[in-house]
Chain A
Amino acid sequence: DTGVSQNPRHKITKRGQNVTFRCDPISEHNRLYWYRQTLGQGPEFLTYFQNEAQLEKSRLLSDRFSAERPKGSFSTLEIQRTEQGDSAMYLCASSLAGVSNQPQHFGDGTRLSIL
């Protein structure tokens, strides 16, 4: 069990550019979540996958955001035409469906800074 891995750890980009983050969940976990955390706040749910199916998207996820999980393994989160308000920590978590009370395991996050 190598844990949830996120890349990159930090991303600095200019406003208007596109960015893509990657999350590799714990290998046997079939559920994968994306959260966004701004300074001094708790994480907020963005979207969730069970295997390769994206089952729910938050209203926070504008049409500039897209997430994929091809083949039900790693996931990517892309933000197009970044805005200053997108600056945040993006957290990925994974868990195993079908096991009651299964906690979510979090990665270290990707910190996005928009100049």
Chain B
Amino acid sequence: AQTVTQSQPEMSVQEAETVTLSCTYDTSENNYYLFWYKQPPSRQMILVIRQEAYKQQNATENRFSVNFQKAAKSFSLKISDSQLGDTAMYFCAFMKQGGANSKLTFGKGITLSVRP
């Protein structure tokens, strides 16, 4: 079974600054995907960024980038130039590659507050 750990329950960052959210995971699988999802207060969960485990290059999406360390089973999210709209809960998630079921295994999440 896979586990995803997000040990920081809350973080706060000043607008326009950079913040890094941590995530570690445990799996015996070699091929998998990792995701960061954002859940704004009372709003829909949306995908922020995804990483294929077989790719060494870290994924980037505009202001969002990841630091994927496969050997260390670490997958952190860096948000640059933080904006007020980035205030949300952020979930790290794992998905096994292949097989019949592509269910997501989530961490507990981290609440990020962006201060004006």
Binding site for B on A (CB under 8 A): 3, 31, 33, 35, 40-45, 48, 50, 55-56, 91, 93, 95, 97, 100-109
Contact = CB atoms under 8 A, between A and B. Distances in A.
Contacts, number: 57
B108 A91 contact: no
Interface stretch (B13-21, B40-48, B70-78, B80-88): B40-48
A103 B44 contact: no
Interface residues of B, number: 25
A99 to B, nearest CB: 11
A3 B105 CA distance: 22
B19 to A, nearest CB: 19
A45 B44 contact: no
B44 A42 contact: no
B47 to A, nearest CB: 5
Give 4 closest A-B pairs by Cβ, nearest first: A42-B106, A106-B45, A45-B103, A103-B47
Given A101-B33, A103-B35, A45 B109 contact: no
Nearest to A47: B103
